[in-house]
Amino acid sequence: MEKLDGVIFDLDGVITDTAEYHYRAWKELAKRVGITIDREFNENLKGVSRMDSLEQILAYGGRLGDFNDEEKSEMANWKNELYKEMITDIKPTDILPGVVSFLDELKMAGVRTAVASASKNAETILEALKIRDQFDFVVDAAEIKNSKPNPEIFLKALELLALSADVCVGLEDAAAGIDSIKGAGIRAVGIGDAKILSHADIVLEGTEQLRLKTLEALA
């Protein structure tokens, strides 16, 4: 890559780790309808929209046809309210290692940034972390019809940044997110397990390894 003009971030697992709160909220919701989920199953929900996550849980428990759309909407809203209660204490110290210095590095280099998260609470979380002003744009998940691995959310981020895919890099910690980035024609950087994120162009073990030169080196 001759020049890096834009970096598109996922939120959960890349900027801060709210995945545990999501897991606990989904687990409680599943329990209410007689379904037991574990952390292994929860890996399937990372990067996936709220309603699609609910559908996966109900299918897993053999209860997919037991609820109408209105009931499912109420269930998803209940889960989200519980999740929002859980994250009220989130603070700047919950930002993952190396993210703040990496954002400073990008800003100094004039690299534009966006957040492409399936979370409809992304703005709230970024404000609580006190880093909302570090991002040029936050994609409104409510406007996205197709959840990851569909590339729609990253295509929207490109549109907001007014940049082409070949001068951008996407950061994700979930396989569905990596596929979403690649589907948008963007180079993908995975954060986490190389086996799970095998479709990424490069995989870093953790956010503390994020460096502008590392991203610019992607061929």
Instruction: Just list the catalytic residues.
Output: 10, 12
Closest CA to 117 of 11, 191, 21, 15: 11
107 contacts: CB under 8 Å, gap ≥ 6: 113, 134
Structure tokens at 199: 């479709």
Round to whole Å and give the CA distance between 28 and 178: 28
Cα dihedral sign for 109, 115, 16, 219? negative
Within 10 angstroms of residue 188's Cβ, the number of other Cβ atoms is 25
Contact 125, 90 (CB under 8 A): yes
Judged by DSSP in three states, 116 sits in: coil
Return d(Cα 184, Cα 27) in angstroms, integer. Answer: 32
